[in-house]
Amino acid sequence: MNALIHYKEEENYVLLSLQNGKANAISHDVVTELNHCLDKVEKAGKPVIITGQKGIFSAGYDLASMTKSPASALELVTKGSTLSLRMLSFPLPIIIACNGHAIAKGAFLLLSADYRLGVSGDFKIGLNEVMIGMTMHNAGIAIAEARLAPVYVERCVNNAEIFSPKEAISAGFLDKTVPEEQLLPTAIKIAGLFGKLNGRAHAETKRKVRAKHINKLEKAIAQDIQEGLTPPSK
């Protein structure tokens, strides 16, 4: 689409690569372009792989927007939460090939996908909002409760515990880890397996399985808009 997201359609899948600087920050423009890309994916009717850059998937929201003002932070978080809502209810399979670090919104994107593949190594994965002075937003809590292993929810949300890729599997952020050179080939293989599913059955079953969580997330987004949020400390 542009310099922020590279869109590449192959025969059996679509590859989206996030390219937004050293931290691969999730900015207003990144959210907008991800939505545009997902529109194209729906028309293509193929599984989608979302990946980042060497060593990092995303370190979270754009810090300048988050610390500018409470209103600015709320606007970006609302857009990001709505993106997660779309991903959780997306009719086609979403695979994330996590290249390394995935912090805050980067980790929430992992929780919003159907299959999460990570790389082995000295990388950090988790929700650091409380650590940086941000009271966790209602939508974030709803996503965490929907996708994390129950015994890890409070460790991740209340305590801002950060995990290695191997530990992140037990917590529920990742499904599997592989060596770096195997990340994209393995993600493509998984996309091929997803491609064998009946598309209608996959979409309808996903909607049924996640119905209560999607409903809860919709209400949480509205609650965040009403209550506002505490932006991270500068």
Q: Is residue 208 part of a domain?
A: no
Q: Is residue 227 part of a domain?
A: no
Whether the per-residue pLDDT at 67 is higher than 90: the answer is: no
Mean pLDDT of 208-229: 96
Q: What are phi and psi of 124, to 5 degrees?
A: -115, 135
Q: What's CA 60's distance to the chain center, in Å? A: 10
CATH classification at residue 149? 3.90.226.10
pLDDT in tens, 36-62: 999 999 999 999 999 999 999 999 999
Q: Is residue 148 part of a domain?
A: yes
Q: CA gyration radius for the chain?
A: 16
**Spatial distance between the Cα atoms of 82 and 88, rounded to a whole number of angstroms:** 10
Q: Is residue 37 part of a domain?
A: yes
* Count of domains for the chain: 1
Mean pLDDT of 183-208: 97
Q: Is residue 224 part of a domain?
A: no
- Residue 52's Cβ-count burial label (10 Å; 0-12, 13-18, 19+) is buried
Q: Is residue 202 part of a domain?
A: no
Per-residue pLDDT, 234: 59
Per-residue pLDDT, 2: 53
pLDDT in tens, 140-188: 999 999 999 999 999 999 999 999 999 999 999 999 999 999 999 999 9
Per-residue pLDDT, 133: 92
pLDDT in tens, 75-87: 999 999 999 999 9
Q: What is the span of the domain harbouring residue 178? A: 5-195
**Spatial distance between the Cα atoms of 126 and 107, rounded to a whole number of angstroms:** 6
Q: Is residue 138 part of a domain?
A: yes
Q: Is residue 109 part of a domain?
A: yes
